[in-house]
Amino acid sequence: MEEFITACPRNCYSTCSFRVQVEDNRIRRILPYSENLATPEGPCIKGLSYLERTYSPDRIIHPLIKSSGKFKEININEALDIISYKLGAIREKYGSQSIFWYKGSGMSGLTNEIGYSFWKAFGGTTTTYGNLCWPAGLEAVRLTLGSVKHNVPWDLENANTIIIWGKNPAETNIQEIAFIASAKEKGCRIIVIDPLRTPTADKADILFCPKPGTDGALALAIAHVLIAKGMIDHEFINNHVKGFDELKKSLHISPHNAELITGIPSKNIIELAEIIGSKGPLTIIPGYGLQRHRNGGQTIRSILLLSVLTGNIGKPGSGFNYANLQTYVFDDIKEPLSYYPDNENDMPFRKSISMAKLGSDMLSMLNPELKAAWIERGNPILQ
């Protein structure tokens, strides 16, 4: 039986490594690859389902053409002829930028962005900038810390307090639960902040339920208490923090004010602040939902502020696990800047459609107007 080491290419926190056993030219088993210390126990049910999915009779492996409302299977050569004829005709009549290229995240393997080469060779296209997923938080972390990095996932075991803020790893990042459990076994306090009682909340000691969209106010009130009670790391602040005095002056939100905004009683805000200030090392694991609100980036910065004030950065068990772009080894460290339109016009690409305003921006394109759209790895009508 042959065995290959590979990884799950889905757009997921865990991106598990796994071993694939092949028998008679057919995948027989998907097994954990324990050398990857972040996912030593292997993939979740979605990863295991590759076995079924690969050989499913429902899998689309031939081109389909839609005629009078119905999909019909056609030959690949026929499909290529139709596409090249139509694209060529539009390019000839309106120019290559009259074709809109939309791409979602899809599978994150190395062939993910291969379309770039095609469209470059084609002579250019109109495409999108921005992203609906995580850039507000990426930019927030980059502006605060200088780069988007965090401790290795298994460093959670060294934490004495873990705050899972607006994230549900029990369902979205299952492998992280193993490290949370190891920390918990060593006596670590697990706190979940989420408006909902998620399956992750049931692993916690305390669940704080602020009103949705008020996380920034909660974080700032905690910062206020930390400073007022002197529960901050003066040495870290003196050596590494710029603008602390300005922050102190502008921090007006008291626990009482925050109670009115967040719905969390002020005595509990103080209690949470005391845990953060005294029970280090502290790791905060924020989710991505928080930054998909107005001022989302600032919300992430306010939460990150708590790690910074207490000196919980860059030490074992002290992390702010928002995103770790150190793992983007093939991405040429483009993130997060790659989400923004280039300052200079990136010929032959016209990057002028905002992902967040897809419909209206598509309609506003002039010289040339959009005449066709190429949609891959995503479903913009639903997403």
Q: Which residues bind another protein (CB under 8 A)?
A: 16, 29-32, 39, 41-45, 48-49, 51-52, 170-171, 174-175, 177-178, 181, 184-185, 196-197, 199, 201-209, 263-265, 268
Least spacing, CB of residue 3 vs another protein, in Å: 12
| Least spacing, CB of residue 39 vs another protein, in Å | 8
Q: Sign (positive/negative) of CA torsion 166, 171, 175, 178?
A: positive
Pick 43 or 166: Cβ nearer another protein: 43
Q: Is the dihedral of CA 262, 267, 271, 273 positive or negative?
A: positive
Rg of the chain on CA atoms, in Å: 24
Quote the CA–CA distance of 281 and 316 in Å, as a whole number. Answer: 7
Q: Which of residues 185 and 344 has its CB atom nearest to another protein in the complex?
A: 185
Closer to another protein at the Cβ: 17 or 131? Answer: 17
What is the token pair recorded at 175? 């492998």
Which C-beta is closer to another protein: that of 168 or that of 354?
168
Q: 273 forms bridges with which residues in the sheet? A: none
Handedness of CA 37, 38, 44, 50 (dihedral sign): negative
Residue 205: CB minimum distance to another protein, A: 7
The SS3 assignment for 157 reads helix
In the complex, the smallest distance separating the C-beta of residue 180 from another protein, rounded to whole angstroms, is: 9
| CB of 192 vs another protein, minimal distance in Å | 9
SS3 content of the chain, % helix, strand, coil (to 5): 40, 20, 40
Supply angle C-alpha 215, 216, 221, rounded to 5: 100
Q: How far is the CB of 184 from another protein (least distance, A)?
A: 5
Greatest C-alpha distance within the chain: 73
Closer residue to another protein (CB): 46 or 371: 46
- Tokens 């910062």, located at residue: 223
Q: Nearer Cβ to another protein, position 45 or 329?
A: 45
